[in-house]
Amino acid sequence: MNIYQIDIKDSKQFLKNLDVQGAGVEIMSKKMELLTFFIKDLKTPAINILKQDALSIGAELAVPSGVILCQKEQYDCLLIGTKKHIEILSKKELSQPFGLKKIAKELQKFLKIKNYPIEIMGVINANDDSFFAGSRFKDSDAIAKIEQMIDDGATIIDIGAVSSRPNADIVTPKEEFDRIRDICDTIKKKKLYKKVSFSIDSYTPSVIEYALNSGFDIINDITGASDSRVIELAIKYKAKLCIMHMQGTPQTMQQNPKYSDIMVDISDFFEERIEKCESIGLNREDIILDVGVGFGKSLEHNLTLIKNMKHFRKFGSPILIGASRKSMIDKIIPTPTEERLAGTLAIHLKAIDNGASIVRCHDVKEHTQALKVWEALS
């Protein structure tokens, strides 16, 4: 007889492989997954109720020492429990006062999280000023690179013609269109859209519509669908819309970015933009979320988002991570752009482990290999 500790990523599959009886798989898997929730500014009476209810079912609520004496009106706390605990607690708190009904509804969102297949999105820049020279391609060179990315394992190709690096030059819609038109025409002519999905990295409605008419089926909007016309185009062409968070503009975003709470602020932003999309008629299933690594964020902001990316799964949409060769790597360990592949892979694998399902990258072949190995280990 031997015993050893193991790490289980997919509890249901492990139990099935163990030949556990069907109903037992569902029951036991909920007891195997430990969940933690950081709750901010909860009223003191609510904390005392939640603490008692959590303890009564075997869960736990970690609270500051002053709570028992009600020294302040509100406190932060940490809820700890299995998936089964959270399921029971979320139903129990629906009838409780002091804001606990809202807490219950939020917890229930996390219990309905969807799993999406992991996809690699290759990056093509049809301009000559993107921060990574290795991503710049024009016309026939761009098509050759697209075909190589498809062979290397990409399932999505993201094409843009305007740099969004810090302090990038402003480009007119005509210039953006002129840069990307021939690439779109060739994709349509060669029917490359039948092999993979194509994403247009733009927030210019006229450019987006031309791409969608050329076989593209994803809109990657760094402004987070601030222009309702972009949402309407997604609906008209039955395309998916990637909503990215950015503080400011590419020209201003890195000028001392500040947040009251990076997780709360971006979560509220996604909530508002998703509501806007749904009010116009775009289904939540057709929305992709991107926290916007490097877009109006300090190193600490970026690290916090990646470490806690699992939080954004509550919205029920695929999460995109795009940190390929970005300067946050240089801030951790000084490294020139062309030597940041290893750092990129480390960030992206951690993000996937934390809930991301679409990886936007320059190095498709290397990411395909890394993800295959990661999946085998998982």
Give 292's DSSP letter.
Answer: -
* Mean of pLDDT over the chain: 92
- Output the six-digit token pair for 9: 């990523």
Query: Which residues are tagged catalytic?
Result: 326, 360
Tell me the pLDDT tens digit for each residue of 85-131. 999 999 999 999 999 999 999 999 999 888 899 999 999 988 776 66
Kind and range of the H or E run holding 270: helix 262-280
- The amino acid sitting at 23 is A
Cβ 319 vs Cβ 118: under 8 Å:
no
Beta strand extents in 8-118 (DSSP E only): 34-43, 60-62, 74-82
Domains of the chain, first to last: 33-111 (3.30.1370), 119-377 (3.20.20.20)
- Output the six-digit token pair for 310: 């699992």
pLDDT at 137 over 80: no
Cβ 266 vs Cβ 297: under 8 Å:
no
For residue 111, which of 46, 37, 56 has the smallest C-alpha distance? Answer: 37
* Whole-prediction pTM: 0.88
Three-state secondary structure call for residue 19? coil
- Output the six-digit token pair for 92: 């129990």
Cβ 265 vs Cβ 273: under 8 Å:
no
Tell me the pLDDT tens digit for each residue of 207-234. 999 999 999 999 999 999 999 999 999 9
Q: How many CB atoms lie within 10 A of CB 2?
A: 3
Question: What span, in angstroms and rounded, lies between the C-alpha atoms of 213 and 187?
Answer: 11
